[in-house]
């Protein structure tokens, strides 16, 4: 497994989700790359997935499957024409998310690693489309 350090810079629009998968007791890090400034319409959806056993060394996860589902909570609807992220380079997954109107959107992301779903059904990232 490749191990290399990476910088974590949190600014506006940066999002990172950290959670422990109780089955394999691995800590997962999902870092959002884009969209930082989400727009109405199709957005490139790009994330990096890392894992760590000891919070000292981190490795990219390159065998995950991701299924995204944008949802507008205050209106009770989702969107069509989304593209599930697929691996493009080490730990990097790219897809497309469609925000059909301005406002707050959740993007639920269901992640499967080694045939095991490592996310809970309420795992999502938050976006404010403009």
Q: Of the candidates 18, 23, 101, 126, which one interacts with other proteins according to CB under 8 A?
A: 101
Question: In whole angstroms, how close is the CB of 105 to Cu ion at the nearest point?
Answer: 9
Residues in the interface with other proteins (CB under 8 A) total 21
Contact criterion met (CB below 8 Å) for 16 and 5 = no
Shortest reach from residue 32's CB to Cu ion, in Å? 22
Yes or no: say if 129 and 99 are a contact pair by the CB < 8 Å rule: yes
Q: Which of residues 73-92 bind other proteins (CB under 8 A)?
A: 73-81
Cα torsion 122, 105, 16, 1: sign: positive
**Residue 102 CA from chain centroid, whole number:** 20
Of the candidate spans 3-11, 20-28, 85-93, 99-107, the one that interacts with other proteins by CB under 8 A turns out to be: 99-107
């Amino acid at each position: 497994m490749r191990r290399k350090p990476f910088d974590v810079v949190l600014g506006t629009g940066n999002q990172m989700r950290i959670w422990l998968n109780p089955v394999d007791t691995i800590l997962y890090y999902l870092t959002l790359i884009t969209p930082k400034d989400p727009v109405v319409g199709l957005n490139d959806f790009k994330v990096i997935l890392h894992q760590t056993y000891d919070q000292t060394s981190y490795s990219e996860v390159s065998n995950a499957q991701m299924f995204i589902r944008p949802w507008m909570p205050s209106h009770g609807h989702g969107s069509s024409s989304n593209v599930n992220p697929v691996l493009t380079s080490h730990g990097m997954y790219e897809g497309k998310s469609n925000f059909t109107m301005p406002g707050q959107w959740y993007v639920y992301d269901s992640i499967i690693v080694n045939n095991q779903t490592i996310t809970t059904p309420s795992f999502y990232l938050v976006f404010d489309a403009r």
